[in-house]
Amino acid sequence: MDKKLEKDSVFIAGYYTKLNIFFILKELMIPKKNDSTIGNLFQFSPYIFFLSIYFSLYCYILWTKNSYNSSTIMLAGLPLFVAFISTIYAFFTFKAPLSIDKKIEIFLSGVAHNTAMNSYFIIIFIAIFNYMIAKINGVLIAVTLGLLYIPTSWVMPAMFLLASKIAILLRSLPATIIIFMPIAHGIAQSLQIDPAFMAATILSGALYGNHISLYFHSIIADIKSNQLNIQSFFQKNTWIILPAAIIALFIISHYQCEQINPTVYHHLEKSLTIRDFINLIPYFFLLIASFLNLNLLANLIIACLIAFIIEIISYKVMFIDTATTMFNGFCGESIIVNLLLLHLIVAGLVQIIKYNGGFDYIIKKFQPKERINSSKFEFRALIITMMINLFVIIDTLSFQVITEFIEKLSEKYNASQSKITNMIHITSSIMQTILPYSSIMFLTIYLSKHSFFEIMNYMIYPGLIIILTTISIIISACSSYTKAQYKKLNI
């Protein structure tokens, strides 16, 4: 028995020795930022370089009136080109004299960031899912059901609410846009609705769902812990989100759509078969699995396999033919490939700036010398959030980067942590939907076949959120000032 125990002890010691060696090698392979590195404006300049070059070229294209004739350049070529040359420039901003191999390692460590990697695979499998669902006519069937069962007078509010519900379930704005936008576009074409208005409505609804999902899950957690009360509920900025959604719904409900001809209606109703509903199983699975809080990437992979099986069984397609064309949804769409490359480059570029202390340079500019009240900190957090989102176009990565920076400022402010986190979430998601080179707007422009400015004309909900957030900060500042004056008078 003692020999067996000794043998097991030797095995366990050897296992943990190998495990420690593995983690040491992993740490050596992925460079870390040196905490003693003090960045300056030069280390932060790749951020300025990216924005100045992009907006200069964007304005030049608009000035030469090539925004429609050069849609590929505007959507994919321009941001990808600017990100590429900004990365080359960033390689010359290192403060330490590093070799080119070390600089490439730092860039690749950003590319291999777990948050960024998750977004890459989600983009790939969403594209594959859309391709597979289109091959089994899932999009066409979903459009038909929408035309049959959504009242024409309530199409726009219904699309807003459906987009919000899907966003709550999927918890991913890009996934919601890619999956739901083709269906909404088909309904818009059938009812003679302006596709730009429909695209903006879907984007606004998805944004509202993304906002409310954070509070939905936090409220459930508060209920389970018996900590829910009215004060904590409104501290989560719900008074900003709910009025904005109600006003947006009221405005879009006045949009008049074309009525469906009764003959066309009966033809659509008779055209549906049991096999058509079977083809919608991938959609149902994706929504149910997301409702059960399962991993989105795993759900997408399984949904793709379900569509794969349905195509083979229902359409009598050879297994080898379906297998060889399964990845055409990703490879066949150049816009998806360009979007993936853009994410890769931006993730690496962000890591270079972080390693050089470029973002820390900005944090020090906002660092107060003494403790400040909550309203001043909210304003600083808002500015930092907007600045970071102008550059970090990967929504999950930008939120993580901003949170890290805000935590560094948290020592000298008097504000509710949950309130600041919720405000960052709201501002970050809005910035991701109104920038022409962000992945969400990138996909919206491509799927709706309309320009950035046409879609922005109908973005009602984000505009209301911006107005109400500004009012909230002003009210908070006035309240803090009144309390300070009252305290002085009492003294």
Q: Is the domain of 353 the same as that of 472?
A: yes
Look at residue 360 and tell me whether its pLDDT is greater than 80: no
Do 123 and 95 reside in the same domain of the chain? no
Do 194 and 268 lie in one domain? The reply is yes
The pLDDT value given to residue 160:
92
pLDDT tens for each residue of 18-37: 444 333 334 444 444 444 45
Q: Looking at 334, 356, 376, which one is the last position of a domain?
A: 334
pLDDT one-digit tens code per residue, 111-153: 888 878 888 888 888 888 888 888 888 888 888 888 888 888 8
Lowest mean per-residue pLDDT among 18-22, 263-267, 447-451: 18-22
Long-range contacts of 474-481 (CB under 8 A, 24+ apart): 476/374, 476/375, 476/378, 477/375, 477/376, 477/379, 479/375, 480/373, 480/374, 480/375, 480/376
Mean pLDDT score, 346-352: 89
User: Cα separation of 349 and 85, whole Å?
Assistant: 11
pLDDT grade, residue 269 (50/70/90)?
A: confident
- State pLDDT tens for residues 159-175: 999 999 888 888 888 88
pLDDT above 60 for 3: no
Q: Is the pLDDT of residue 426 over 90?
A: no
Contact 287, 281 (CB under 8 A): no
Confidence grade of residue 375 (pLDDT, cut at 50, 70, 90)? low
Q: What's the confidence (pLDDT) of residue 396?
A: 72
pLDDT in tens, 304-322: 889 888 888 877 777 776 7
Same domain for 360 and 404? yes
Range from 80-84, 370-374, 433-437, 453-457 carrying the lowest mean pLDDT: 370-374
Backbone φ and ψ for 223, nearest 5 degrees, come out as: -65, -40
Q: What is the pLDDT of residues 215-239, one digit of tens each?
A: 666 665 555 555 555 455 445 567 7
Q: Report how far residue 459's alpha carbon sits from residue 475's, in angstroms, rounded to the nearest whole number.
A: 25
Residues 139 and 184 in one domain: yes
Instruction: State the Cα–Cα distance between residues 220 and 292, nearest whole angstrom.
Output: 14
Q: What is the pLDDT of residue 221?
A: 57
Q: Which domain holds residue 327?
A: 115-334
Per-residue pLDDT, 16: 37
pLDDT at 479: 67
Residues 289 and 190 in one domain: yes
User: How many structural domains comprise the chain?
Assistant: 2
Task: Say if 302 falls within a structural domain.
Answer: yes
Domain presence at residue 474: yes
- Contact between 267 and 126 under an 8 Å Cβ cutoff? The reply is no
Those residues whose C-beta lies under 8 Å from the C-beta of residue 136, and which sit 6 or more positions away, are 279, 307, 310, 311, 314, 315
Can you tell me the distance from the alpha carbon of 164 to that of 246, in angstroms, rounded to the nearest whole number? 13
Binned at pLDDT 50, 70 and 90, residue 89 comes out as: very high
Clarify whether residues 157 and 101 are in a common domain: no
Same domain, 121 and 186: yes
Task: Identify whether residues 104 and 191 lie together within a single domain.
Answer: no
Which burial class, exposed, middle or buried, applies to 197 when counting CB atoms under 10 A from its CB (0-12, 13-18, 19+)? buried
Does 57 share its domain with 205? no
Residue linked to tokens 């990138």:
442
Q: Which of 288, 308, 334 is where one domain is finished?
A: 334
Decide if 399 is inside a domain. yes
Is residue 420 pLDDT above 60, yes or no? yes
Tokens of 398: 């930008």
Choose the final residue of a domain: 305, 334, 363. Answer: 334
